[in-house]
Amino acid sequence: MVGFSSCLNSEDDGIREWGGYFEVNNTYGSVNFVDPTGIQLVPNKTIIDAPASSALAYINYQYKDDDMAQIEQTKKLPVTLLQDPVYLKRLDCLTTTLPEETKTVSIYSLGERDALVWGNNKYLILAPTILLKKGTTSENLSTELLNHRLTLYYLSAEGDEDANTLKLYLRYEISGIGGSSTEETDDKESWASDYNVRYTNVSHVNLQPIISMYKSTHSGSEPEKVTVEYEYNNSTSSIPTIAKKQTKTVTYNLYTETSSNN
């Protein structure tokens, strides 16, 4: 199982605590969580608000050592959730051309250390941090997020066959910002100072259909790495920008038959 474990107190009482990313299994109104090996974590309470658009969630939970004895036969583990699940946002992946540079805004950071490939190359988890508008609080967060869009792009012609690399491009747009050459070249970018509330949007993308497209254009060859190119602010300022963007690429290893990551 993916996660961390620890005893809850100094005396070993046979109760363990774990946490990690798990696939959401929502069947006939019953929600449980599945690890990359197929083990189902069955919560001790009914979950009815799992969003249909989210395939992954981060959960913290407890389980009993005694229940582990039957896990090989049942493939199920009863758990007690320590907090509500945190459902990851689904990132759309488009195969169209990239949006115009005058329309995209810099990402504050990609959270590279928080990114990982889940399962046997099933999902890629990313943790981009963006800057929301001044005055954003928990009360108006959902409304503000409607103005922000993160999108992945896969351009099949851009794959590097020699390096066995699947290339993705992460682009960020804010509703009502950008789209004109004047705004792109305006060094002042007066709109940018209105955005100073950091928000980390932990997200996931299903890699399976993208890998299938890669294989179809590379004679069935499997990619060994996936790269994500994103735009960031190249100045010392932490505010978002259109005019001063530069690109940065991060690389994540995929699991292969000879991979030491298994």
How would you label 191-203 residue by residue, b for 16+ Cβ within 10 Å and e otherwise?
bbeebeeeeebbb
User: The domain 89-253: what is its CATH number?
Assistant: 2.60.40.3220
Residue 4: per-residue pLDDT: 38
CA distances from residue 257 to 97, 227, 261 in whole angstroms, order as listed: 33, 20, 10
Show me where the domains of the chain are located: 4-87, 89-253
Q: Is the pTM of this model over 0.85?
A: yes
Q: What is the pLDDT of residues 239-256, one digit of tens each?
A: 899 999 999 999 999 987
* CATH 2.40.50.140 holds for 4-87: no
- Enumerate residues 6+ apart whose C-beta is below 8 A from 238: 108, 131
Which segments of the chain have a pLDDT < 70? 1-12, 158-162, 180-187, 257-262
In this structure, are residues 97 and 155 in contact, taking their beta carbons and an 8 Å threshold?
yes
Q: Give CA–CA dist 114/131, Å, rounded.
A: 18
3-state SS record for 116-148 = EEECCCCEEEECCEEEEECCCCCCCHHHHHCCE
Q: In CATH terms, are 4-87 and 89-253 the same topology? A: no
Q: What is the pLDDT of residues 99-132, one digit of tens each?
A: 999 999 999 999 878 889 999 999 999 999 999 9
Q: Which amino acid is at 96?
A: T
In this structure, are residues 5 and 14 in contact, taking their beta carbons and an 8 Å threshold?
no
In this structure, are residues 136 and 156 in contact, taking their beta carbons and an 8 Å threshold?
no
In this structure, are residues 187 and 163 in contact, taking their beta carbons and an 8 Å threshold?
no
Residue 106: per-residue pLDDT: 96
Q: Give CA–CA dist 193/200, Å, rounded.
A: 19
